[in-house]
């Protein structure tokens, strides 16, 4: 008899443990992952560009970079997964007058040579992987008495 009481108590405890156990649910929140800047291929080395050449009267070309001894304005990804041999990125900008063209240049932009890689807003540009670039902006028809070139911005995607 005693034995059967122990069996009944053990069974009751076991049934109570099974039914008394509570389940636990954990909810994972949604997570917003931000986009990779500039589509993941082009990285700005500074937010405000630095004029590193001296303007010439009336017309010329100006180099814009990140200052400190012509630090590049943009760097192209060197990741083999995002750009194995070349990267494509698209600039969007509106050139205010008297600017006439905007280019990216792997070397120094000078008044003596117009860069051949002129950017067109909304048109993709192919870059070599792991390269650095400065901007070269051409201007023309500034008054002989001088003038101020207006600000503008470029967005890469």
Query: Could you state, in order of their start, the residue ranges of all structural domains in the chain?
Result: 37-156
Query: Which is nearest to 49 in space by CA: 15, 72, 33, 24?
Result: 72
Q: Which residues contact 82 (CB under 8 A, 6 or more apart)?
A: 40, 41
Q: Is the pLDDT reported for residue 41 higher than 80?
A: no
- pLDDT band of 117, cuts 50, 70, 90: confident
- pLDDT band of 40, cuts 50, 70, 90: low
What is the helix (H) or strand (E) element at residue 128, kind and residue range? strand 125-128
Q: Is the pLDDT reported for residue 133 higher than 90?
A: no
Average pLDDT in the chain = 77
- pLDDT band of 95, cuts 50, 70, 90: very high
């Amino acid at each position: 008899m005693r034995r059967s009481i122990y069996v009944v108590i053990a069974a009751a405890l076991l049934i109570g443990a099974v039914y008394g156990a509570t389940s636990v649910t954990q909810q994972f929140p949604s997570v917003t992952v931000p986009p990779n800047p500039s589509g993941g291929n082009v990285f700005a080395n500074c937010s405000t560009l630095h004029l590193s050449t001296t303007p010439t009267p009336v017309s010329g070309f100006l180099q814009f970079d990140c200052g400190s001894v012509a630090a590049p304005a943009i760097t192209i990804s060197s990741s083999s997964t995002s750009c194995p041999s070349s990267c494509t990125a698209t600039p969007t900008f509106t050139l205010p007058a008297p600017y006439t063209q905007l280019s990216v240049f792997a070397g120094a932009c000078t008044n003596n040579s117009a860069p051949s890689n002129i950017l067109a807003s909304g048109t993709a540009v192919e870059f070599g992987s792991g390269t650095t670039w400065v901007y070269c902006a051409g201007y023309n028809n500034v008054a002989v008495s001088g003038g101020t070139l207006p600000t503008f911005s470029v967005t890469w995607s």
